[in-house]
Amino acid sequence: MQDHPYLGMWVTADGHIRQELLPDGRYDEQRGTRRSAYRGRYEVRGTHIDYWDDTGFTADGTFVGEDRLHHGGMVFLRER
């Protein structure tokens, strides 16, 4: 199980992309009305996150403070 302060839902400002970081080290990303558009595993080390999509795609990002995630050229905000 993952143990870090970044678990939960992260959303772009326009609400189009919603990415949930689950406690089992998996993520589920919704794009618009397309649920589970991307799924895979992730790992957080400090403020850095690495993603491995189930289709083989890889990506990474950086948490800025507790409420902002920079990933794939986008900014995600924590949904509370």
**How far is the first Cα of the chain from the last one, in angstroms, to the nearest whole number?**
22
Domain boundaries, the chain: 1-40+66-80
CATH class of 1-40+66-80: mainly beta
Structure confidence by residue, pLDDT tens digits, 10-59: 999 999 999 999 999 999 999 999 999 999 999 999 999 999 999 999 99
User: What are the distances in angstroms from CA 38 to CA 2, 7, 21, 22, 78?
Assistant: 19, 17, 12, 13, 18
Residue 32's identity, in one-letter code, is G
1 — pLDDT class (breaks 50, 70, 90): low
Contacts of 62 (CB under 8 A, 6+ apart): 47, 48, 49, 69, 70, 71
Tell me, yes or no, if the pTM score tops 0.85. yes
Among residues 71, 68, 47, 69, which one has the least CA distance to residue 60?
71
